[in-house]
Structure 1
Amino acid sequence: MLHSCAEYLTHTLYRHCPLSEEKRPVFVYGFELSLSTLSSILSIILLSIIFKNVYSSLLFLYIFFFLRLFSGGYHAPTYSRCFILTNAIFAFVYLLSEVIQWYKPLLIPFAILSCISIFLLSPIRSTKHPLSERLYAQNKKAARIIVSIDFLLFL
């Protein structure tokens, strides 16, 4: 279904704009990626409405998507698995944050451990999506800056 929507949007784009036919797969992929990301964002916001805490989804989306952009991570083999995994991670993090609120002494050590892990391990190298050494170094610097700022804001 996602591919069909992306094909339709690409077809509509080509109907209205004179574009090179050899670029068609790039547009289809771009639409697939955009639709997949948008559906994940909307479903996370919907879940947070169900949990009655929209702020949690906005915070999660900022940290998860923005930081992950530079730190890398697991790439699911299909868009549907990515959608399910992303929503499951949000639900898990949300529920974990609810539990940690009952055990507040765990909050700071957990945050420190998380930030140190991201600081030291980012970006994750992917064999399916390799980065040049220059881009790897840029992403490492960006991930470290972002996690440091996030930690300072947390404190």
Structure 2
Amino acid sequence: MIKSCSEKMAYILTNNNLIEDSECSVYAYGFEVMIASFINFLLTLIVGFIFNKFIHTIVFLASYCLLRQFAGGYHASNHRNCTLIFLCMFLTTILLSNMMIHIEYVQAIVLMFSICNYIGIFILSPIEHRNNPLNSKEKKIYGKISKLIVTILLVIIIIIAKFNNMMDYVLYISFAMFWSNIMLILAKFKNGGN
């Protein structure tokens, strides 16, 4: 459905001479990614609203999407699987965050957890996707940006973790780093360690 809709949008642009025929497939793919991302974003916001975690959801999405855009990593084989995996990740984040917030030494645990994920992301990123290959210059740029983003997220975690009333937001940032790291590890295994 998403693919046919995006192809129709690109076809309309071609028919109205807004893009060249040779660019049609590129625009169709761009529309496909944009529509799928919007659906993921909207469904995640709805889940966050249902669980009364709307601001937490925005914190998670901002952290995860920004980091993932430059760090890269594993991608599902189709949009349905992508949506299901992402919603499972987010529901797991809500569940575990709700449990962890009541642990006595949650700050220390989250800090160690975040540092481990920071190291993983720092070492592994960026990992390109076959639909978005990067040349050596882009890899360097994406690597620097992903390292900067993950460093900023870790600094935010360290600063905000000192305030008990902000700990639940810290958990969502930390889980965003965790899932990004998992996606990098999965991509590394899928690519045979390359």
TM-score after normalising by structure 2: 0.73
Equivalent position to 1:151, from 139, 154, 164: 154
Q: Give how far 1:90 is off.
A: 1.3
Q: Give how far 1:33 is off.
A: 0.6
Q: Which residue of 1 aligns with 2:54?
A: 54
Matched-pair contact (CA < 8 Å) for 1:71–1:140: yes
Range with greater deviation from structure 2 (49-58 or 16-25): 16-25
Gaps of 5+ in 1: none
Q: Which residue of 2 aligns with 1:131?
A: 134
From the superposition, tell whether residues 127 and 42 of structure 1 become closer, same or farther in structure 2 (CA, over 3 Å): closer
In structure 2, distance between residues paired with 1:152 and 1:89: 23
RMSD across aligned C-alpha pairs, in angstroms? 1.8
The reply to whether residue 63 of structure 1 matches residue 66 of structure 2 is no
Matched-pair contact (CA < 8 Å) for 2:10–2:24: yes
Identity in percent: 28
In structure 2, distance between residues paired with 1:95 and 1:148: 26
- For each residue in 1:94-129, what CA deviation from the matched residue of structure 2 results, as whole angstroms up to 9, or x when unmatched? 222222212214222112222222122212355664
Q: Give how far 1:15 is off.
A: 4.2
Q: Which residue of 2 aligns with 1:115?
A: 118
| Correspondence 1:28-39 to 2 at 5 A | 28-39=28-39
Gaps of 5+ in 2: 159-194
Matched-pair contact (CA < 8 Å) for 1:115–1:151: yes
Range with greater deviation from structure 2 (24-33 or 90-99): 90-99
In structure 1, distance between residues paired with 2:30 and 2:38: 12
Matched-pair contact (CA < 8 Å) for 1:101–1:107: no
Q: 1:47 is matched by which residue type in structure 2?
A: V
SS at match of 1:145: helix
SS at match of 1:102: coil
In structure 2, distance between residues paired with 1:153 and 1:116: 16
- The count of corresponding residues between Structure 1 and Structure 2 is 155
The reply to whether residue 89 of structure 1 matches residue 89 of structure 2 is yes
Q: Which residue of 2 aligns with 1:142?
A: 145
Q: Which residue of 1 aligns with 2:78?
A: 78
Range with greater deviation from structure 2 (1-10 or 72-81): 1-10
